[in-house]
């Protein structure tokens, strides 16, 4: 992927880092957020078949749901030792998300950890729709 095709930018933040993510739709914004976090976190050369994991989450609002969504992907990496290779949103409302994660087992020979993310934070999390109808979100990570 060429750098001008990326749907996110890295934002400097004291002792942490953030991402500003874009998407044509709210669903695409959430998918792009997952991919952006994964791109910053891990480099993969794995070509093995993936396992599909269904995800259903509830939240207070879109921002809470985004933090929970990224936290779920982080949990699968940290807690289950699996790397998400692709995330797909099927259904999204301001308080509910249904999706799937395609995961492969973590293998140090095929996965290089680029940045160890400890947590997805609620600090300055924000989702807005710009005047050009593109959705944009800001998320800060504890590293």
Q: Which domain holds residue 81?
A: 3-142
Is the confidence at residue 138, as pLDDT, over 90?
Answer: yes
CATH number of residue 11's parent domain: 3.55.10.10
User: What is the rounded CA–CA span in Å between residue 95 and residue 106?
Assistant: 31
| Burial status of residue 10 (CB atoms within 10 A of its CB: 0-12, 13-18, 19 or more) | middle
pLDDT of 14 reads 63
Helix axes 26-41, 62-78, angle to 10 degrees: 30
pLDDT of 1 reads 34
- Residue 2: CB partners within 8 Å, gap ≥ 6? none
Instruction: Quickly state the pLDDT bin for 120 (edges 50, 70, 90).
Output: very high
pLDDT of 117 reads 95
Token readout for 87 is: 């995330």
Token readout for 58 is: 């509830």
Give 15-69 pLDDT, tens digit per residue: 688 999 999 999 999 999 999 999 999 998 767 788 999 999 999 999 999 999 9
Total of domains in the chain: 1
pLDDT of 7 reads 81
pLDDT of 2 reads 34
Indicate the pTM of the whole model: 0.89
Instruction: Quickly state the pLDDT bin for 3 (edges 50, 70, 90).
Output: very low
CB 65 within 8 A of CB 95: yes
Give 61-119 pLDDT, tens digit per residue: 999 999 999 999 999 999 999 999 999 999 999 999 999 999 999 999 999 999 999 99
Is the confidence at residue 140, as pLDDT, over 90?
Answer: yes
- Site of tokens 């944009």: 136
């Amino acid at each position: 992927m060429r750098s001008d095709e990326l749907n996110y930018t890295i934002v400097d933040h004291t002792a942490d880092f953030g991402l500003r993510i874009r998407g044509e739709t709210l669903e695409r914004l959430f998918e792009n957020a997952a991919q952006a976090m994964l791109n910053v976190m891990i480099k993969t050369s794995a070509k093995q078949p993936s396992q599909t994991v269904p995800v259903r989450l509830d939240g207070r609002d879109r921002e809470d749901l985004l933090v929970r969504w990224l936290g779920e992907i982080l949990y699968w990496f940290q807690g289950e030792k699996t790397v998400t290779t692709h995330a797909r949103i099927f259904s999204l409302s301001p308080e509910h998300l249904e999706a799937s994660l395609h995961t492969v087992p973590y293998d140090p020979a095929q996965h290089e950890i680029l940045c160890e993310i400890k947590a997805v934070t609620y600090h300055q999390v924000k989702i807005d729709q710009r005047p050009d109808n593109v959705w944009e979100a800001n998320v800060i990570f504890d590293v």
